[in-house]
């Protein structure tokens, strides 16, 4: 089954043929950008690229595949991401909120399961300008007034335009609601504030801007508190991502053992056997990478499934001799990992 929304009427036949060609490549390889499209961002299930249509229109392609069973299951009974996001963007285009123009949205299921989807939008006239709290908050409150709840709203969703305006993009997680409740609004604001703090920016100007809009100290304090929890949760998720199939890590689950490998270091180094301390080394290596910016040294972890006998193994360049030089530092990293996890509420 194929989803295909109408193309923008401004596109000519050559543009339409190019989109058709791109789509054929995407259906063949759902997580790989078509030839001639420049990579902007890549994840395990999603890629974003920039291209130019024959008529000269610059566009962004956002494509999504469904490589894991959980990805297919998530969208088994839901709209495909491209269809949903196109619907939200077209709804917002009828409001004063600035969003990218949707040129095409396509998706395909095979045997009832999600296979691939594509959202094609017109590139916005963007300029490099530091985002200021007030214009961004204007957009957030406009989203509220339009009945849009976005649980993952962060500052990268907002772009400065050449006419001085602010556009908002990436509406894949957004939902339409009849009314946005106070708790929902606080979540949107807290996620935005949390992202500024995560980047190392001061959140004081953002809190001051909220006070200027009538938020009392109690409300601002709640948003600050929620922002802290959001950041702790995000860090814990990043720390534990080395135990999940993701852009950076591959997981191979067997009947008796599970292997975790860092994709960029696959097959690198020698295996070293040991006990459960090998798991602590693995998590410590990840914690040092995320919390201190250290370069990871472990390429993989192989361990028995829960309740199964057998040794633990880790892989690293230099094998057992190199591990002796890293062990103390990795165990200290594991301590940092445990400390972070304990803070999660």
Q: Which of 168, 12, 19 is nearest to 104 (CA)?
A: 19
What is the DSSP code string of 64-93?
A: EE--SHHHHHHTSSS--HHHHHHHHHHHHH
| Separation CA 289–CA 295 (nearest Å) | 6
Contact 330, 314 (CB under 8 A): no
Please tell me whether the overall predicted TM-score, pTM, comes out greater than 0.85 for this model: no
Condensed to tens digits (0 to 9), the pLDDT of residues 39-56 reads 999 888 889 999 999 999
- Tell me the β-bridge partners of 299: none
Q: From residue 243, how far is each of 238, 316, 335 by CA, in Å?
A: 10, 17, 17
Q: Do you know the residue count of the chain?
A: 345
Helix (H) or strand (E) holding 106: strand 102-110
| Separation CA 123–CA 151 (nearest Å) | 24
| Residue showing tokens 């609004």 | 185
Please name each of the domains of the chain with its CATH number: 2-122 (3.30.200.20), 133-239 (1.10.510.10), 248-343 (no CATH)
**Per-residue model confidence (pLDDT) at position 8:** 55
Helix (H) or strand (E) holding 135: helix 133-145
Classify residue 101 by its DSSP letter. P
Low-confidence residues of the chain: pLDDT under 50: none
Phi/psi-derived region of residue 40, left when phi > 0, alpha when psi is between -120 and 50, beta in every other case: alpha
**Per-residue model confidence (pLDDT) at position 26:** 96
Contact 105, 119 (CB under 8 A): yes
Contact 148, 174 (CB under 8 A): yes
- Tell me the β-bridge partners of 252: 259
- List the end-to-end C-alpha distance of the chain, in Å, as a whole number: 43
- Tell me the β-bridge partners of 74: none
| Separation CA 217–CA 283 (nearest Å) | 39
| Separation CA 134–CA 258 (nearest Å) | 49
Classify residue 150 by its DSSP letter. -
**Per-residue model confidence (pLDDT) at position 230:** 85
Exposed, middle or buried: residue 152 (CB in 10 Å: 0-12, 13-18, 19+)? middle
């Amino acid at each position: 089954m194929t989803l295909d929304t109408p193309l923008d009427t401004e596109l000519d036949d050559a543009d339409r043929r190019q989109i058709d060609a791109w789509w054929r490549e995407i259906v063949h390889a759902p997580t790989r950008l078509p030839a001639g499209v420049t990579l902007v961002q890549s994840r395990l299930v999603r890629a974003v690229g920039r291209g130019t249509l024959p008529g000269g229109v610059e566009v962004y392609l956002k494509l999504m595949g469904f490589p894991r069973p959980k990805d297919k299951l998530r969208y088994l009974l839901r709209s495909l991401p491209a269809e949903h996001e196109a619907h939200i963007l077209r709804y917002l285009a009828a409001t004063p909120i600035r969003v990218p123009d949707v040129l095409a949205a396509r998706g395909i299921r095979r045997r009832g399961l999600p296979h691939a989807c594509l959202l094609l939008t017109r590139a916005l006239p963007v300029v490099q300008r530091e985002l200021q709290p007030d214009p961004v908050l204007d957009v957030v409150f406009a989203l509220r007034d339009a009945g849009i709840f976005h649980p993952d709203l962060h500052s990268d969703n907002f772009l400065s335009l050449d006419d001085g305006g602010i556009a908002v993009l990436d509406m894949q997680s957004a939902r339409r609601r009849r009314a946005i409740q106070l708790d929902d609004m606080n979540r949107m604001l807290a996620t935005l504030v949390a992202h500024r703090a995560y980047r190392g920016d001061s959140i004081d100007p953002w809190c001051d801007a909220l006070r200027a809009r009538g938020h009392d100290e109690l409300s601002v304090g709640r948003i600050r508190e929620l922002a802290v929890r959001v950041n702790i949760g995000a860090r814990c998720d990043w720390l534990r991502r080395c135990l999940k199939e993701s852009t950076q890590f591959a997981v191979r689950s067997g009947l008796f053992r599970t292997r975790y490998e860092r994709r960029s270091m696959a097959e690198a180094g020698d295996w070293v056997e040991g006990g459960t301390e090998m798991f602590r080394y693995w998590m410590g290596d990840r914690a040092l990478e995320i919390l201190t910016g250290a370069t990871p040294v472990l390429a993989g972890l192989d361990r028995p499934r829960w309740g199964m006998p057998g040794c633990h193994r880790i892989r690293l360049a230099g094998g057992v001799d190199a591990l002796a030089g890293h062990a103390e530092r990795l165990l200290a990293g594991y301590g940092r990992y445990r400390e972070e996890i304990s803070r999660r509420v």
